[in-house]
Amino acid sequence: MGEFELIRRHFVRPVAAGSAVVLGVGDDCALLRPSPGHELAISTDMLVEGRHFFADVDPAALGHKSLAVNLSDLAAMGARPLGFTLALSLPRADEAWLSAFASGLFALADAHACPLVGGDTTRGPLNICITVFGELRPGQALRRDAGQPGDDLYLSGRTGEARLALAQLRGEPWAPSPVNAEARARLERPTPRLALGQALAGIAHAALDVSDGLIGDLGHVLAASAVGADIELAALPVAPALAALDEAQRLDCLLAGGDDYELLFTAAPGVRDDVMAAARASGTPVTRIGRLTERPVLRLLDADGQPVAQPLLRGFDHFAD
Ligand code: ADP
Ligand code: MG
């Protein structure tokens, strides 16, 4: 099967009427028409075998995740998806693998009305690079530098399960076996929080999606916004699968896990009701987990509001104070 036949068979699909796509796969460029007066939001993420996924991962789950991590970036900006491109490097044209990969990819694309508009296909080590295009109203983007001292700090969903599942799949000694199914689903099929992100545009200040661990990613907001933060550890939602871990390990998953794809965002205390209305309207759990501070350090507070001693926390490069 040649390159063009492979593309035609697996990746060319009719584009739904009413989408922003003027011209999809097949020409030198795709043509998109954003809503009048809107800004484009663009993001790229690459997934490499051995680094971002196991060689034997379910290809349908991989198709889902490849797009999900990109849509998550649009969500974190408050953008609405318009379409995406797919650059694919494949060791061989494996029909069964390709059709499963495409099914996972398109199921998520269809769920968010985000069509595939182009890409590139080449032979090589398995590597998946997606670029997403979205739009939002001028001035409404949820930027990392928009945090204000005194803002509330919120988290969608909960963190840590993907880290647990990864440890279980790798057989790390601390992780109880067997692999927890719910945690594994969080690792392999993350949910991009698109509806929440769009509902927060114009309400929240700063936002990002948590892909490298809550503390590390919060550090990006703090640096960009030149603020600090207090996190109330007791406020962090804890998945049942994490409840059985010892405290240090649980905190490690919650705060430094990675692959969570939850939204971490800030908003003025005056708009708490609006934030919770956005959470309800988007069907997304949201928890207030702390606040931004003038003093540019990150503190973790225990249930009594006292800063937690660092030795309890392992491996936080970004940790201050
Ligand atoms: P060019 O040589 O002009 O780059 P290609 O031969 O690489 O064109 O691709 C032909 C068409 O197929 C283009 O419209 C391109 O966007 C599309 N395409 C190639 N690979 C993919 C893919 N993996 N998914 C979707 N569209 C693809
Ligand atoms: Mg090409």
Closest Cα to atom 13 of ligand 1: 26
Same domain, 276 and 154: yes
Residue that the structure tokens 């991989």 belong to: 62
Calculate the alpha carbon distances from 253 to 53, 85, 283 in Å: 19, 32, 25
CA dihedral 274, 200, 241, 100 (to 10 degrees): 140
Same domain, 111 and 151: no
Closest Cα to atom 16 of ligand 1: 118
Q: What is the pLDDT of residue 54?
A: 87
Domain that includes residue 25, residue range: 3-136
Same domain, 46 and 179: no
Q: How far is the CA of 128 from the centre of ligand 2 (A)?
A: 14
Could you report the per-residue pLDDT of 33-85, keeping only the tens digit for each? 999 999 999 999 999 999 999 889 999 999 999 999 999 999 999 999 999 99
Same domain, 110 and 59: yes
- Region for residue 21 given its phi and psi (left: phi exceeds 0; alpha: psi -120 to 50; beta: otherwise): beta
Q: Are 234 and 308 in contact (CB under 8 A)?
A: no
| Beta pairing partners, 240 | none
Q: What is the pLDDT of residue 310?
A: 62
Does the structure show a pLDDT above 60 at 316?
Answer: no
From CA 283, how far away is CA 72, in angstroms rounded? 16
Same domain, 231 and 296: yes
Q: Does a structural domain hold residue 108?
A: yes
Same domain, 9 and 125: yes
Q: What is the pLDDT of residue 192?
A: 98
User: With bands split at pLDDT 50, 70 and 90, how would you rate the model's confidence at 2?
Assistant: confident
Q: Which of 1, 3, 7, 128 to mutate to test the pocket of ligand 1 (most atoms within 8 A of CB)?
A: 7
Q: Which of 25, 84, 97, 129 to mutate to test the pocket of ligand 1 (most atoms within 8 A of CB)?
A: 25
Over residues 179-204, the mean pLDDT reads 97
Q: How far is the CA of 88 from the centre of ligand 2 (A)?
A: 10
Q: How far is the CA of 275 from the centre of ligand 2 (A)?
A: 43
If one compares 10 and 309, the residue with the highest pLDDT of the two is 10
Closest CA to 107 of 21, 44, 192, 49: 192
CATH code for the domain of 36: 3.30.1330.10
Closest Cα to atom 22 of ligand 1: 119
Q: Does a structural domain hold residue 43?
A: yes
Cβ-Cβ contacts under 8 Å for 315 (sequence gap 6 or more):
252, 256
Amino acid of residue 290: G
Same domain, 154 and 30: no
Neighbours of ion ligand 2 (CB under 5 A): 120
Q: How far is the CA of 55 from the centre of ligand 1 (A)?
A: 25
Over residues 203-219, the mean pLDDT reads 96
Q: Are 220 and 278 in contact (CB under 8 A)?
A: no
Q: What is the pLDDT of residue 311?
A: 44
Could you report the per-residue pLDDT of 91-126, keeping only the tens digit for each? 999 999 999 999 999 999 999 999 999 999 999 999
Q: How far is the CA of 29 from the centre of ligand 1 (A)?
A: 9
Ligand 1 atom nearest residue 118's Cα: 16
Q: What is the pLDDT of residue 3?
A: 84
Could you report the per-residue pLDDT of 254-300, keeping only the tens digit for each? 999 999 999 999 999 999 999 999 999 999 999 999 999 999 999 99
Question: Treating both helix axes as pointing N-terminal to C-terminal, what angle do 214-225 and 247-256 enclose, rounded to 10 degrees?
Answer: 50
Q: Does a structural domain hold residue 87?
A: yes
Q: Does a structural domain hold residue 311?
A: no
Q: What values do phi and psi take at 8, rounded to 5?
A: -60, -45
Q: Does a structural domain hold residue 18?
A: yes
Residues with CB under 6 A from ligand 1: 7, 11, 25-28, 86, 88, 116, 118-121
Same domain, 122 and 220: no
How much is the CA Rg of the chain, to the nearest whole Å? 20
Same domain, 157 and 99: no
CATH code for the domain of 227: 3.90.650.10
Q: Does a structural domain hold residue 319?
A: no
Same domain, 164 and 280: yes
> Number of structural domains, the chain?
2
Q: Does a structural domain hold residue 313?
A: no
Closest Cα to atom 20 of ligand 1: 120
Same domain, 150 and 251: yes
Closest CA to 210 of 190, 230, 224, 226: 190
Q: pTM (2 decimals)?
A: 0.94
From CA 308, how far away is CA 83, in angstroms rounded? 44
Q: Does a structural domain hold residue 316?
A: no
Ligand 1 atom nearest residue 24's Cα: 14
Closest Cα to atom 1 of ligand 1: 28
From CA 159, how far away is CA 257, in angstroms rounded? 7
- Region for residue 149 given its phi and psi (left: phi exceeds 0; alpha: psi -120 to 50; beta: otherwise): beta
Same domain, 44 and 177: no
